[in-house]
Each structure stands twice: as structure tokens, then as C-alpha cells.
Structure 1
Amino acid sequence: MEKPSVDEQPLLVERDENAAAPEAKRLLRLAGPLVASGILQCALQLVSVMFVGHLGELPLAGASLATSLANVTGFSLLVGMASALDTLCGQAFGARQYHLLGVYKQRAMLVLTLACVPIALVWANTARILLLLGQDTAIAAEAGAYARWLIPALVPYVPLTCHIRFLQTQSMVVPVMASSAVTSLSHVLVCWALVHRAGMGSKGAALATAVSYSANLAILSLYTRLSGVCKTTWTGFSMEAFKELRQFAELAVPSAMMVW
């Protein structure tokens, strides 16, 4: 293959620059909503801890410690496992095997649900674990109670995380950002209602997380069904999802380790 002449090189550089500008704009249109979605999703637990902070130093210490433990041993682990969908769904979407996206999403939900069993056991025994690590008795008890009330959040969090990855691999990032924004704003009201109105205290703040995750999941599920944008990628539940679970786990576990 002949190399371009000296006279042709400036033209090639100009063409590359012209091609790079539209691609950069496209990447920004995708990256902006992705970043905003991530921040808004993390804001839920931050708002819950802020509400607990008004209850006193001890509840705040317990909620902060329990939230940190839950993020490390649970939420980050599940997010990492769900990131395997980025690879699988991206390949299937690029190959125009659209029905596989729905199958992969269901398969991910099954594997992540199994992973929730040891996670729930750890959260249920948070107080004992912290005491073994030398934590103050009162703070360990407060953190243990908060962590136990976080366990219901695992129920909507698994399908929500998988559903978000399912949509993002199809470049549907704006609906995810919009649902995250609505959920984050309403989470303030949910926390107030459970913490103060219902008088549940720090337990209400933990339970509010499960309520808001459920609301976010409901919004995205309704969008998927009513908008019709996922007609080819979501064709309903399939028994095919129960196949190759071990192969999916072999990809999900290393992905989880990177996030963990």
C-alpha cells in the first residue's frame, strides 16, 4: 500500500479532525447522562444518612458505618457482577441478536439473586461482625439495626441494576437519567415520611432506600413496556435464562472483583 504524499498528509489530518468532532459530541451525549445517573443513584443513600444525622450522633455513626459496609459487601459487588451485561449485551446488540439482551438480563438477575443470599447473611450479622472487629458496642448495635433494615433493598436493587445495564447497552441513557432524577427527588419525601412522620427513625431511612429503588424499577419497567422501544430486545421471560448460569458467573465474578 502506497504511503500518502507530503501534499496529501494535511488533507488526511483535516479529514480525521472533521470525523473526530461528531464522534466526540456523540460520546458526550452518552457520557453526560451516564455520569448524572450514577451520581443520582448514589444520592439515595446519602440523603438517607443525612436524615439520620438529624436524629443524633449515635444514629448517624451507626448509619454511616452500616452504609459503608453495605456498599462494600453488597451494592458494589452486585454492580460489578451486573457489569458483565455491558460485554454480553453489547456484543449481542452489535451482532443484531436482539432477543439475547432480554435473555442475558434474566440470567443476570438469577445469578445476582443467588449472590444476595450471603450478602443478606452478612448484613443480618453486622452487629456481631463489628463487635469482633473491636467496634464500640452501642455503634455496632445501631449499625446492625440499620443494616438489617437495608436487606429489603436487595429485592428491587437486583432487577433495577440489571435493567439499567440492559437499557444503557442500547444507548437509552436519557430515560435512566430521568428516572434516577425523579427517584432522587421523591426520596427526600419518602425519608421524611418514614423517619419523622411514621416515627421509624434510622430504620425508616434504611427502609426508604428499598421504597425508592422499587419506584425507580417501576418507572423503567413501565417505560420499557409502554414506549415500545424494546420490542426486539425484550420478548418476555424465557426458560433459556436458566441455561449457562455458570458461564455467566465466571464472567460476572471477575467484573465484581474489579469494582469491589
Structure 2
Amino acid sequence: MKSTEAPLLVKNKQQSEEEERERIRWEKMKKVASMAAPMVAVNMSQFLLQATSTMIVGHRNELSLAGIALGSSFANVTGFGILFGLSGALETLCGQAFGAEQYQNLGPYTFTSMVYLLIIAFPISILWIFMNQILILLHQDPQVAELASVYCLWLIPALFGYSVLESLVRYFQSQSLIFPMVLSSLATLSFHVPLCWLMVHRFEFGVKGAAVSIGISYWLNAVFLWVYMKRSQTCLKTRIYMSKDAFLHTKIFFQFAVPSAMMCCLEWLAFEVITLLSGLLPNSKLETSVISICLTTSTLHYNLVNGIGDAASTNVANELGAGNPRGAHDSASAAVIIAAVESVIVSSTLLLSRNVWPYAYSNVEEVTRYVTKMTPILCISILMDSFVIVLSGIVRGTGWQKIGAYVNIASYYIIGIPIGLLLCFHLHFNGKGLWAGLVSGSTLQTLILFLVVGFTNWTKEANKARERILDEKVRRDDSFVN
């Protein structure tokens, strides 16, 4: 009798264990999805601040549209992108500290980020003051360069508001406090649109009005979040205080901030390089218009799927900080599955509507035909970008920003851009060749990050996270004693 019961008991035990694992995976997927959806609203609201400003200014005349488009591009690469990347250090530090229940660390980490981002905003501001001369050196049209430089000059206050805002966003994100950010972002956007219209059209400030309205909106959003943090009981244990102790965390902040900024900026810069190169082609106006449409669509998708990446980063960091390697693995897997579903839906929709969606950007037949031909390549790009964004979120949550930076350099600057140049200028595929080069870079990036995440020893990473948090606790306690 024992010989027949023993195998049955083993089988039932294995079945119950498998059911338990399946239940945990499903719970992780729901947890990631429930955070990703509202984060999409937060990211899209912030993206639309600049997008709606461009649209409102663009209705004045073609020169104003070209000026604000060039200014926004320059500002994103040299300013906002750098600050956005640097603040990514908090996804590792705050996320893991919150998971380890070291709530008292979140406030100092966030205040450290605010201080250093505000300091770094000063040299960026000086660069923007001389932007007109820089753009002229890059052979841009003098009139367009002048408007772009005026826009960036008046955008400088927004740079400082963004420094505070992005630090607060990472602070709230690491605690999964998404609802306050959704309310704040949507309220700011609702305020921004009429304000920008009044500044641009009613008071005739043009690009200056658009820049000022963005600055006011960033600061307003930051104030909303700061007041909530100070007043809400949910932030009682993690509250941010202004203190000279901010400099105690300098080393560990920049340990993650610099490679995080490289991850972000190197990828953004690759797309800007491709846009600039399209201006060297024979029919440059057509090629640049088509590349710009593809870039705008890709950016819109980036802000959509970045919510999933943020959710992946937060959940992985929280689980590692809590010393739960299995939970980190399941959170990463859930985020990848959600990204796969999202990418298939978006790319399939674009492909099936390839004869229709280009008209959302232009009514010029030559442009829409070209974009239709580019759509299959763009769909592959979107497919790869979905995985890249989520895998990059997992990388930030784990604290592998250096690996992510090296992968970006190899993918885009050793492989992607050279292939784009070869296809464009030597094989005469023009704009399609340039974009195909980016696709090859993002494909390689996806494959490498998949391998990195797939072969991760999550137990080892959880131990590293706990050791880092413990070291910081000892250092903080020593500073209080001294």
C-alpha cells in the first residue's frame, strides 16, 4: 500500500507547488499591471506639457513651429534628458530601501537628488544661454536657431522645476504612491493648456510664452507633490527634510546616477543623430519630415510603455530590498509578458492602419506615402522598444545601470548608427536605411538585456541589495554619533 501512496503524495505535492507558483505569478502580473496603468497617465501628462506647447505655437506660423521643435529637441537631449537619467538612481536606492523597510532612507536620498540636480541645472543653463551660437555652428537656419535659442533661454526656470519634480516622482514611485501623481499631473496639464494658449496667442509672447508656461507647470506639479508629501500620513515614515546631511549620500547617489543618465541620454542622442543625418540627404525636407513623424510616434509609444518599465523597476527593487529573490524574478517576468502583449497590439494596429495613420501628421501625399512604406520598419522598432524599456526598468531596479550604459554604447554607436550610415549613404536606402540602423541597434540591445536578465542570480542580487542598505544604515548611524 505504501508503494502506491508515496508516488501519489509526491505528485500531489508537486502539483500544489506548481499551482502556488502559478498563483504568485498571476498576483505579480496584476500588481505590475495595476501600477503600470496609472504610471502611463503620469508619463503621458508630462509628455503632453511640451507636446501641446509645440502644437499651440505651431499654429502661429511655420517658422515658430520649426523654432520650438528644434529648441525642444536640443533642450531634451542637453537638459531634461540628463536630469531624467540622473534621477533614475532613486529607482534603485529608494526602491530597495522601501522594500527593506528602511523608510528613513527615502527622504535623505530624495533630498540628495534634488540638491545635485539643481546644482547640475546651472551649467546646463549656461549652455542654453549660448545655444544660438552652437546651433549656427551646427549649420542650422539662423532664423530657426534664433527662435530655438529664445525658447531655451526662457525655458531655464523649467529646468530647475524639473529637477525637483523628477526627484519627487521617483520618491512617490518607489513607494507605489501613484494616485497622488496622477491627480497632480492631470491637474497640471489641465491648467497648462489654457495658460499656454493665453501666453502664446492672447498676450502674443510666442515661443517665450510657451517656455514660461512649461516652467510654471513644472513648478506647480512639484509644489502639489511636495505639499502632499508634507501633509499626508502615508508619507509620515519617509518624509523629506531639508538637511546638510544630503551630502552624506553623494558617493552612492552618483554611483547609480551617472550610468543611469548615460543609459537614457545615449539612447535619446542616437535618435537625434539620425534626425540630423536625414538633413544631409538629397531630398532633405521630405526625409527629415518622415523621420520626424516616425520619431514623434516612437516617442509617444515610449511614454506609453514607460509606465510598464517604471512598474517593473519599482517592484523588482522593492522585492530585492525585502530579500525576496523569487518575487523579484516573478515581477520581472510579469513585466516582460505585459510588454510583449502591449507591443504586439500597438505594432499590429500601426501595420494594419499604415495607409491611414500617417494623415494624422500630414496631408502631403508624398510624405504620407513615404511614411506608409516606413511603417513595417517602425513596427519592428516599436516591438523592440517595448522590450528595451521594460528590461531597462528591471536593470534600474536591480542597480545594473553601468551594464545598461555599456549595452547602449555597443548597440547604438558600434552597431546601430554605423549600419544606418551604410544603408543610407552607401546602399542608398536613405531615411529607411537610417531608421533600419536604429532598429538593428535596439534589436541587439534587447537580445543582450534578455540574456543579462535571463541569467541573473536573483538570490545574489537580493543579498547585494541588503548589504548595500545595511552599509548605508551603518554609515548614517556613524554620522549621527559623530
Q: TM-score range by the shorter chain?
A: over 0.9
Determine if contact 2:111/2:240 at 8 Å carries over to the other structure: no
Aligned to 1:115: 120
Aligned to 2:140: 135
In structure 2, C-alpha distance between the alignment counterparts of 1:95 and 1:238, rounded to whole Å? 23
Q: Are residues 1:225 and 2:230 paired? A: yes
In structure 2, C-alpha distance between the alignment counterparts of 1:7 and 1:98, rounded to whole Å? 41
Structure 1 residues 12 and 246: CA distance shift in structure 2, 3 A: closer
One of 71, 76, 100 as aligned partner of 1:71: 76
Q: What one-letter code is carried by the residue in structure 1 that aligns with 2:194?
A: L
Determine if contact 1:37/1:181 at 8 Å carries over to the other structure: yes
Aligned to 1:177: 182
- Counterpart secondary structure, 1:229: helix
Aligned to 2:36: 31
Q: Are residues 1:249 and 2:254 paired? A: yes
Q: Are residues 1:88 and 2:88 paired? A: no
Matched pairs, number = 258
In structure 1, C-alpha distance between the alignment counterparts of 2:11 and 2:234, rounded to whole Å? 49
Structure 1 residues 246 and 15: CA distance shift in structure 2, 3 A: closer
After TM superposition, give the deviation of residue 202 of structure 1 in Å: 1.4
In structure 2, C-alpha distance between the alignment counterparts of 1:228 and 1:235, rounded to whole Å? 13
Q: Are residues 1:238 and 2:243 paired? A: yes
Determine if contact 2:110/2:240 at 8 Å carries over to the other structure: no
Provide TM-score, normalisation by structure 2.
Answer: 0.52
Structure exhibiting the larger radius of gyration computed from Cα positions: 2
One of 105, 108, 120 as aligned partner of 1:103: 108
In structure 1, C-alpha distance between the alignment counterparts of 2:232 and 2:249, rounded to whole Å? 31
**CA distances 1:173-197 after superposition (whole Å, capped 9, x unpaired):** 1111221111112111110121122
In structure 2, C-alpha distance between the alignment counterparts of 1:33 and 1:86, rounded to whole Å? 17
In structure 2, C-alpha distance between the alignment counterparts of 1:15 and 1:234, rounded to whole Å? 37
Determine if contact 1:105/1:162 at 8 Å carries over to the other structure: yes
Determine if contact 1:99/1:232 at 8 Å carries over to the other structure: yes
TM superposition outliers: structure 1 runs of 4+ over 6 Å:
none
In structure 2, C-alpha distance between the alignment counterparts of 1:120 and 1:251, rounded to whole Å? 24
Report the aligned-residue RMSD.
1.7
**CA distances 1:2-59 after superposition (whole Å, capped 9, x unpaired):** x994454333322222222222111111111112211111110001101110110101
Aligned to 1:148: 153
In structure 2, C-alpha distance between the alignment counterparts of 1:193 and 1:155, rounded to whole Å? 23
Q: Are residues 1:214 and 2:200 paired? A: no
Determine if contact 1:111/1:249 at 8 Å carries over to the other structure: no
- Counterpart secondary structure, 2:155: helix
**CA distances 1:86-120 after superposition (whole Å, capped 9, x unpaired):** 11112221222212111011111111112112211
Determine if contact 1:99/1:235 at 8 Å carries over to the other structure: no
After TM superposition, give the deviation of residue 64 of structure 1 in Å: 0.2
In structure 1, C-alpha distance between the alignment counterparts of 2:154 and 2:244, rounded to whole Å? 33
Task: Identify the structure with the greater helix proportion.
Answer: 2
- Counterpart secondary structure, 2:27: helix
One of 188, 195, 205 as aligned partner of 2:193: 188
Runs (5+) with no aligned partner, structure 2: 1-6, 266-482
After TM superposition, give the deviation of residue 206 of structure 1 in Å: 0.9
In structure 1, C-alpha distance between the alignment counterparts of 2:35 and 2:249, rounded to whole Å? 31
Aligned to 1:56: 61
One of 12, 33, 58 as aligned partner of 2:17: 12
Q: What one-letter code is carried by the residue in structure 2 that aligns with 1:143?
A: A
Instruction: With a CA cutoff of 8 Å and minimum separation of 6, indicate the structure with the bigger relative contact order.
Output: 1
Runs (5+) with no aligned partner, structure 1: none
- Counterpart secondary structure, 1:21: helix
Mean Cα deviation higher: 5-14 or 143-152: 5-14
Mean Cα deviation higher: 92-101 or 141-150: 92-101
In structure 2, C-alpha distance between the alignment counterparts of 1:62 and 1:242, rounded to whole Å? 39
Determine if contact 2:83/2:163 at 8 Å carries over to the other structure: yes
- Counterpart secondary structure, 2:234: coil
Determine if contact 1:92/1:101 at 8 Å carries over to the other structure: yes
Determine if contact 2:68/2:147 at 8 Å carries over to the other structure: yes
Q: What one-letter code is carried by the residue in structure 2 that aligns with 1:109?
A: M
Q: Determine what percentage of the aligned residue pairs are the same residue.
A: 42
Q: What one-letter code is carried by the residue in structure 2 that aligns with 1:191?
A: C
